[in-house]
């Protein structure tokens, strides 16, 4: 799995969480910066700079594959960051996916802190089981059966957290990205179907637009009398079955009998309801096919 880029996305919006995983005192307000390390001919993205100038800046690396030079590279990055910030104090932290990836070379292992990321997440979960970082990382750490059963609950916790909206959007994107990597046998629409109950306004989300597009294509392929398209109706059937399982022939007929405006209303409704009985009652009230 590709995880390092997603972690950088998380810490770009919540750089203070790096200290949380490293079990260091929170530095207060801080920012994520990027500098060019000429010695390595690469940009360093994992640089956290506390607003308090008395606190050290932090070079963070996430190592999920073997690299015998990771400590040496981090030392060089620390030196470059120190110079770029007027010789301000600097520290380095390497987050390892597995203990076997950390060869602890002397003397660098005494200069750079190493953290086994799963141990850090486990410790954080014991302290705060509903911390957003714990929840988003369930897409990595939970077993596949648990993740399959509870993905929508984890996603809901992220979306309903007290974080700023842009931060929640980033965490939700990372969660879905990891979800797609864990369930490689599922296509994009099947992954979205796992979370469809949490789409607040279906037509206003990319996931909803994708589902509606699928419905439109199916409607065009099957053809309609009088040249009508049934994109919204096909999408409504697709979303309803993703939410509640296979629909009866009667329910499908009721959806297909809806007016265009009612079909759009149904799509919005499906993004909010959690009980199939609500769908049944709504169709009985709005369908021309009783």
Residue 31, helix vs strand vs coil: strand
- pTM given for the model: 0.65
- Give whole-number Cα distances, 264 to 224, 234, 280, in Å: 18, 11, 16
Instruction: State how far the Cα of 5 lies from the Cα of 204, in Å rounded to an integer.
Output: 27
The order of strands in the sheet holding 57-63 is 30-37, 42-50, 57-63, 90-96, 113-116
Q: Which two tokens stand for residue 277?
A: 């009985």
Question: What's the residue count for the chain?
Answer: 290
Give whole-number Cα distances, 231 to 46, 89, 97, 237, 279, in Å: 45, 60, 45, 10, 19
Sign of CA dihedral 106, 20, 160, 154: positive
Rg (CA), the chain: 24
Could you read off the pLDDT of 111-163 as tens digits, one per residue? 999 999 999 999 999 999 999 999 999 998 888 888 888 888 898 899 888 99
Please give the Cα distance from 129 to 212 (Å, whole number). Answer: 36
Low-confidence ranges of the chain (pLDDT < 50): 199-207, 216, 218-229
Give me the pLDDT at residue 130, please.
92
Q: Under 8 Å CB-to-CB from 62, ≥6 apart: which residues?
A: 3, 4, 7, 8, 46, 94, 95, 117
Closest CA to 140 of 170, 175, 98, 105: 175
Cα atoms found within 13 Å of the Cα of residue 160, Cβ hemisphere only: 10
pLDDT digits (tens, 9 = 90+) for 33-53: 877 766 656 666 688 999 999
Strands 90-96 vs 113-116: parallel, antiparallel or unpaired: parallel
**In Å, how far are 39, 84, 102, 279, 284 from 255, measured between CA atoms?**
63, 63, 58, 10, 10
């Amino acid at each position: 799995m590709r995880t390092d880029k997603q972690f950088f996305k998380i810490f770009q919006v919540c750089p203070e969480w790096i200290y949380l995983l490293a079990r260091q005192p929170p530095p207060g307000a801080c920012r994520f910066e990027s500098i060019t390390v000429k010695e390595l001919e690469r940009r360093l993205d994992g640089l956290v700079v506390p607003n308090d100038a008395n606190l050290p800046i932090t070079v963070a690396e996430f190592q999920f594959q073997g690299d015998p030079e990771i400590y040496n590279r981090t030392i060089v990055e620390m030196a470059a960051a120190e110079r770029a910030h007027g010789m301000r104090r600097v520290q380095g932290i390497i987050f390892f996916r597995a203990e076997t990836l950390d060869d602890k070379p002397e003397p660098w292992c005494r200069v750079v802190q190493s953290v086994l990321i799963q141990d850090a997440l486990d410790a954080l979960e014991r302290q705060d089981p509903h911390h957003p970082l714990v929840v988003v990382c369930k897409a990595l750490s939970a077993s596949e059966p648990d993740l399959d059963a509870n993905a929508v609950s984890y996603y809901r916790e992220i979306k309903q957290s007290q974080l700023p909206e842009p931060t929640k959007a980033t965490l939700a994107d990372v969660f879905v990205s990891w979800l797609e990597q864990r369930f490689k046998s599922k296509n994009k629409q099947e992954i979205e179907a796992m979370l469809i109950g949490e789409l607040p306004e279906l037509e206003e989300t990319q996931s909803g637009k994708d589902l509606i597009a699928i419905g439109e294509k199916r409607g065009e392929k099957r053809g309609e009398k009088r040249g009508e398209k049934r994109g919204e109706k096909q999408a409504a059937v697709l979303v309803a079955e993703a939410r509640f399982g296979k629909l009866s022939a009667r329910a499908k007929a009721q959806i297909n009998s809806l007016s265009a405006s009612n079909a759009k209303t149904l799509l919005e409704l499906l993004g909010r309801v959690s009980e199939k009985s609500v769908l049944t009652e709504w169709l009985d009230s709005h369908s021309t096919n009783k």
